[in-house]
Structure 1
Amino acid sequence: MTATTGTRDGQIRIQGLTKRFGDFTAVDDLSFDVEPGRITGFLGPNGAGKTTTLRMLLGLVRPTSGTATIGGRDYAQLPHPLGTVGAALEATNFHPGRSGRDHLLVLADTASIPAARVDELLELTGIPAAARKRAGGYSMGMRQRLGLAAALLGDPEVLVLDEPANGLDPEGIRWLRGFLKHLASQGKTILVSSHLLQEVAQTVDDVVIIANGRLVRAGTMADLEGTPGALVRTSDPEALAGALRVADVTSTLQDDGALVADTTDLRLVGDVALRAGLPVYGLQPQRADLEQLYFSLTEGTNRNLGDAAVAVGAPTERDAVIGEEGADER
C-alpha cells in the first residue's frame, strides 16, 4: 500500500489523481497503490469519489491532473486490455433479451476468445443452469455473477469490481469471498469497492478509505486492526488491572467498564482473575473493528450531494461522471 520506486506488472498506481467537474472536485490529489496477489478494499461514503476514481483508472473519465496506471501504463496504452484488466462496474450492462451465455459469447467473439472459455466461466461463477435464460430476468445476484464472468473472460491479471456482493445471498457472499481469495492466490491484483464493511473485513488484505475525494487512511488490515489484545469484563476492573500488572501484562480501562489487556493469551488473563478471586463475566479476543474505524475516519465528512447539490445547481458525483462520459462521446 505504500509508494514504491518501481512499478510491477499488474500493480495499480494512483498518483496525485484529481478530477474536477466545474467547481465540484470529485477526486482531490488521491494517491495509493494496489499490489498484485492481494485484495484491496476501496471504501468511502456515497459521493466520496470512488466511482470517479475507478472510471478514471479504466479510461472512462479523463483526469484533471495526476495519473491512474496499471503496470505503469494508462488503460488506453495497454496492448491487450481484456487480457490485462477485467472490470465489473455495473450489473446491468447487458441486453435484457439476450441470454447470459450469448452475452458472454458476443464479448468473447470481439476479443477472439474461444467459446469454451465462456462455458468454463459459467461453471466457475455458478450460473450454468441460468446461462440460456434471458439475462433480463436474472436476479441481482445472478447479474453480479454474470458481470464477474464477463470481467474474467480474458483471464486478466487485474480485477476492478464495484460492489460485487450487492444482491448476493449469504451463501453467494461466502462463495465470492473464497473465489476472490483464490484469484489473489494466483497473483491477480484485485480492487473491490464495497460498502459491506464486515464482509470487507473478512475478505481483503488491504484497505483504502477516502472521503470528500481525499485519502483518509490506507494500509493492511493487520495494521488497521492494530495490536491484538484480550477484552475482559469483571466486577472490579481496577483490581484486575493491578493483578495483571503483577503478571507483567498492561491493560486499559474502557469507558464502558471493560478492560483490554495487552495480550492474546486468554488463559493467562483468566488464571490471573481466578488467583485474584475476581469473577469474569466476559473474555474474548479484541481487535479494532473496521466499521468503528471507518466511521471514526469518515464521520462528518460525507458530502451531502442530494438536496444540497440540487439547491446550488452542483452535480452529484454520479451526474458529473455521466456528464463527462456524454461529453467524451460527443
Structure 2
Amino acid sequence: MTDPAKHGTRIEVRNLTKKFGSLTAVDDLSFSVEPGRITGFLGPNGAGKTTTLRMLLGLVRPTHGTATIGGERYSEISNPQRVVGSALEATNFHPGRSGRNHLRVLADTTGVDTKRVDEMLELVGIPAAARQRAGGYSMGMRQRLALAAAMLGDPQVLLLDEPANGLDPEGIRWLRMFLRHLSSQGKTILISSHMLSEVEQTVDDVVIIANGRLIQQGSVADLHGEKRSIVRTSSAPALVSALIAAGISAQATDATMLEAIGDDMARVGDIALAAGLPIYELRPNQTDLEALFFELTESPENRNRNLAGSAGSGAIPGEHNPATGPAAPYEGATP
C-alpha cells in the first residue's frame, strides 16, 4: 500500500463501467479532478453519479475500468480516512446518538484525536446542537454533520453527494464559502448534483453525465463560451460598421440590436458615442448554463433510460433519489 499524498491527490476515472444485470449504470466513463479545484459532478437523477462515487470509495466493484485517488484504488490507500473524506448520505448515523457522540465514535475508529470532534462541530456551525439526538436534526443539520464527519481526518480529497440538499439559502452560501476555503488549501473536491444552478457559483469545473456516459467536461468559464455583449441602438448596421472599424467583431441581429464579441462594454459605449449613436441597452450575453445543462441531458440520446416504464422500475441500486428516503425538515424550517 502507498500514500497518495506522496503522489498528489488527483482523482482519475478511466473507462469505468458498472453493470447491474442487464442495466448499465456507468458506461465507459472517463474524467479527472484536479487538486485545488472544486469539480461539479452533474447529471439527472439516475445518471450514475452516486454509483461512480461508490466505486471511487471501494463500495461497489467496477465491471471494468479504474477509479483511483492519487494513483491508487481506495482499497490500496494507507489510512484512507486521512486521505479521503466522503458524505454520500446525510442519514448515515444512529438516530438516538447525539451528533457529538456520532463523531466521537468515528474519531475512535479512525484514530483521530477527540478534540477535533468539537473543532469540526464548530467549523460546520452546529455546536449548539452537538448534544441533541441526530435523529431530530433537520436535513440541513444532517448535511452539516455529514460534512463534519467527512472532514474529521483532515483529508486531502472530499467526495460529497448532493451536499446542498436541505440547506436554506444562508446554508448554501455558507457551504460555498466553506468549500472555497478548502480548495484554497489545495484539497481536491468533487461534489455531485442534479442541478447546475445549485453549484454554478461554487465549482471551477464540471463533469456532466447522462445514462452513465460523459457528455460534457470543462471549466465553468469554458461552458459559458466566448464573452459577448448585447447592444440596442437606433441603427444596428451603423454601429456594427463603427465597431468593426475599431477592431471589434460585431453582427446585427435586427435593425436595432447587435451582438459584439468581447465584454469591454465601456469601449463599445465610447465607440457609439463617437459615432453619434445612442445606446438604449448594453449588457453581457453569456450562455445560460442551466439551459445548456437541460439541452445536453434531455436530448433524445441522453434522456434517462432508467425512468421508462412504471415508477421504480429500472432503478439503479444506490443511486440518489430525492423522492425517497427519510423526510427530514429543511434547514431553517419551522418544526
TM-score, normalised to structure 2, is 0.87
Report if aligned partners of 1:20, 1:27 keep a CA contact under 8 Å in 2.
Answer: yes
Tell me the amino acid that sits aligned with residue 74 of structure 1. R
* 1-structure distance, mates of 2:313, 2:72: 33
Q: CA deviation at 1:22?
A: 1.4
Tell me the amino acid that sits aligned with residue 306 of structure 1. L
* 2-structure distance, mates of 1:287, 1:46: 27
Report if aligned partners of 1:57, 1:68 keep a CA contact under 8 Å in 2.
Answer: yes
Partner of 2:136: 137
* 2-structure distance, mates of 1:129, 1:222: 39
Partner of 1:201: 200
Tell me the amino acid that sits aligned with residue 33 of structure 2. V
Q: CA deviation at 1:240?
A: 2.4
* 1-structure distance, mates of 2:305, 2:77: 37
The share of aligned pairs that are identical, in percent, is: 64
Q: CA deviation at 1:235?
A: 4.3
Partner of 2:303: 302
Partner of 2:99: 100
Report if aligned partners of 1:59, 1:75 keep a CA contact under 8 Å in 2.
Answer: yes
Shift in alpha-carbon separation, 1:50–1:131, aligned structure 2, 3 A = same
Tell me the amino acid that sits aligned with residue 63 of structure 1. P
For residues 100-123 of structure 1, the C-alpha deviation after alignment (integer angstroms, 9 at most, x for no partner) is: 111111111111211100000011
* 1-structure distance, mates of 2:254, 2:139: 43
Tell me the amino acid that sits aligned with residue 239 of structure 1. A
For residues 27-71 of structure 1, the C-alpha deviation after alignment (integer angstroms, 9 at most, x for no partner) is: 111001111111101011122111111111111111000000111
Report if aligned partners of 1:51, 1:318 keep a CA contact under 8 Å in 2.
Answer: no
* Mapping 1:200-219, distance limit 5 Å: 200-219=199-218
Shift in alpha-carbon separation, 1:241–1:60, aligned structure 2, 3 A = same
Report if aligned partners of 1:43, 1:50 keep a CA contact under 8 Å in 2.
Answer: yes
* 2-structure distance, mates of 1:256, 1:34: 46
* 2-structure distance, mates of 1:159, 1:320: 19
Classify the secondary structure of the residue corresponding to 2:16. Answer: strand
Shift in alpha-carbon separation, 1:71–1:194, aligned structure 2, 3 A = same
Partner of 2:327: none
2:187 is the alignment partner of 1:185:
no
* 2-structure distance, mates of 1:281, 1:304: 47
2:85 is the alignment partner of 1:89:
no
* Mapping 1:144-163, distance limit 5 Å: 144-163=143-162
Unmatched runs of 5 consecutive residues or more in structure 1: 1-6, 323-330
Q: CA deviation at 1:143?
A: 0.7
Report if aligned partners of 1:165, 1:176 keep a CA contact under 8 Å in 2.
Answer: yes
Tell me the amino acid that sits aligned with residue 139 of structure 1. S
Partner of 2:169: 170
Moved more, 268-277 or 63-72: 268-277
Tell me the amino acid that sits aligned with residue 296 of structure 2. L
Report if aligned partners of 2:251, 2:260 keep a CA contact under 8 Å in 1.
Answer: yes
Report if aligned partners of 1:88, 1:161 keep a CA contact under 8 Å in 2.
Answer: yes
Partner of 1:68: 67
For residues 73-114 of structure 1, the C-alpha deviation after alignment (integer angstroms, 9 at most, x for no partner) is: 111111111001000011111111111111111111111211
Tell me the amino acid that sits aligned with residue 50 of structure 1. K
Tell me the amino acid that sits aligned with residue 272 of structure 2. A
* 1-structure distance, mates of 2:257, 2:315: 43
Tell me the amino acid that sits aligned with residue 296 of structure 1. E
TM-score, normalised to structure 1, is 0.89
* 1-structure distance, mates of 2:233, 2:275: 11
Tell me the amino acid that sits aligned with residue 130 of structure 2. A
Report if aligned partners of 2:11, 2:34 keep a CA contact under 8 Å in 1.
Answer: yes
More helix by share: 1
Q: C-alpha root-mean-square deviation of aligned residues, in Å?
A: 2.3
Tell me the amino acid that sits aligned with residue 201 of structure 2. Q
Partner of 2:241: 242
Partner of 1:327: none
Report if aligned partners of 2:50, 2:318 keep a CA contact under 8 Å in 1.
Answer: no
Classify the secondary structure of the residue corresponding to 2:179. Answer: helix
Moved more, 141-150 or 211-220: 211-220
Classify the secondary structure of the residue corresponding to 2:306. Answer: coil
* 1-structure distance, mates of 2:248, 2:21: 56
Tell me the amino acid that sits aligned with residue 274 of structure 1. L
Q: CA deviation at 1:315?
A: 2.6
Report if aligned partners of 2:234, 2:256 keep a CA contact under 8 Å in 1.
Answer: no
Classify the secondary structure of the residue corresponding to 1:269. Answer: helix
Unmatched runs of 5 consecutive residues or more in structure 2: 1-5, 322-335
Partner of 2:3: none
Q: CA deviation at 1:302?
A: 2.3
For residues 161-180 of structure 1, the C-alpha deviation after alignment (integer angstroms, 9 at most, x for no partner) is: 01111111111111111110
* 1-structure distance, mates of 2:121, 2:28: 40
